[in-house]
Amino acid sequence: MLTYFRGATARHHHFMAVPISLAQVTLFSKPSILLHRNAIIGFSFSIPFSSSSAHKIQTHKWRQPVVSLLELGGVKIGRDDVVRDDPTNNVPDAIFLKLGMQLHRRDQHPIGILKNAIYDYFNANYSNKFDKLDDLCPIVSTKENFDDVLVPPDHISRSYNDTYYIDSQTVLRCHTRAHQAELLRRGHTHFLVTGDVYHRDFIDSTHYLFFIRWKVFVSSFQHLFGNVEMHWIDTYFPFTNPSFELEIYCQEKWLEVLGCGVTEQEILQKSGKTGNVAWAFGLGLERLAMVLFGIPDIRLFWSTDERLTSQFSKDQLGVKFKPFSKYPPCYKGMSFWINESFTENNLCEVVRGVAGDFVQEVQLIDNFTNNKGMTSQCYRIAYRSMERSLTDEEINELQWNVREQVHSKLKVVLR
């Protein structure tokens, strides 16, 4: 969320946003609101925006994706627009196949229910003030994704290990801030942006290939969670200064729910907003939805099993999930000598490419270096379907294929 204070002088802080996201921008005439943390909550959900990086893509209405073609936010996207035979392309087919699911736009899905509850909060407290954008195209330029929000040239988020590159100048957005500069240039002053964002990440029950980002105020968290304990933590983000994170105490642990801060003046000046001050917020919807709906595994959000989808209804926030899968995980181990180019994200990408959503977790359980300076790592892979029991034959075949692909693609020496 961006909140502008016209004619004010900004104090310098930092800000960081979170996956599936919603962004807010607001213009104010008095700087005093800036210091009132409980007054406003903005949320941003990552979703595609029709940007210059996608200038060759034709415009059509959005519809459900098919294997070779889908449409998002008025942008027609084919597989070749995302998964290319390009040395800089690292987008797998698994990503393309999920691009058009748009869980945040489904009124009977936990993510959509949560997003609508946030929209309802803003409608009730800031009637007709915010433009709501939840269908922007996820294909953006590296300039929009990094340069426009002041991500340093050597920042780790720019690496091929962290970001999905379509080519050297085009990526799948890592955050909804990628649309911020263009929206500001177009004259938007108060807006909420919701959409899916994409990161190469490790595998466990709380991480997935992409997620939904959101930006909010303290009072909205009280609206969602009740009178929970909260605290603020100073932090650093390249696009805000100063920057803070908000944590709430929920289910006997502290949960990071929000990144926020005062937008750097350079971003505003380049967007034609000289003389304004902006306040930005961002967070991920999946983690909140897991808590509110009692969903134990992030993979369930992407399941089409009716035993899951039939449990939730429009506007029914916080209905607790009733588990239907009692199938235990099956664990397999794999150890190998690594090379200098090895990363855990690359390993997880290979495992996902073979096992898809049958893989629940990839965990490093042993690491040692011998007297010759060679390093060996051992990983435990948990295979588990959320919908049925996997047979020994299926699991053994998956593990065999994973070993082959890890050896051939990562150039490691299996033990």
Looking at the predicted structure, is the pLDDT value of residue 352 above 70? yes
**pLDDT score of 99:** 79
* Cα dihedral: 45, 94, 409, 363 (round 10): 60
Each residue's pLDDT tens digit, 163-191: 999 999 999 998 888 998 898 889 887 88
pLDDT band for position 128 (cuts 50, 70, 90): confident
Looking at the predicted structure, is the pLDDT value of residue 308 above 50? yes
Among 11, 54, 194, 25, which residue's Cα sits nearest to residue 112? 194
Each residue's pLDDT tens digit, 356-387: 888 888 999 999 999 999 999 999 999 988 77
Q: Please give the single-letter amino acid code of residue 6.
A: R
pTM surpassing 0.85? no
Please check whether the two domains, 2-293 and 330-414, share a CATH topology.
no
Q: Please give the single-letter amino acid code of residue 2.
A: L
How large is the average pLDDT for residues 280-293?
Answer: 83
Residue-by-residue DSSP string for 123-185: HHHSTTTSEEE----SEEEHHHHTGGGT--TT-GGGSTTTS-EEETTEEE-SSGGGGHHHHHH
Each residue's pLDDT tens digit, 218-240: 666 777 777 778 888 999 888 88
Architecture of domain 2-293: 2-Layer Sandwich (3.30)
Q: Are 65 and 99 in contact (CB under 8 A)?
A: yes
How large is the average pLDDT for residues 64-90?
Answer: 73
Rounded percentage of the chain residues whose pLDDT exceeds 70: 76
Per the model's pLDDT, the better-predicted residue between 232 and 253 turns out to be 232
pLDDT band for position 324 (cuts 50, 70, 90): confident
**pLDDT score of 73:** 61
Count of H helices and E strands in the chain?
A: 11, 20
**pLDDT score of 68:** 54
CATH of 330-414, picked from 3.30.70.380, 3.30.360.10, 3.10.25.10, 3.40.50.300, is 3.30.70.380
The full set of domain ranges for the chain reads 2-293, 330-414
Looking at the predicted structure, is the pLDDT value of residue 96 above 80? yes
**pLDDT score of 69:** 63
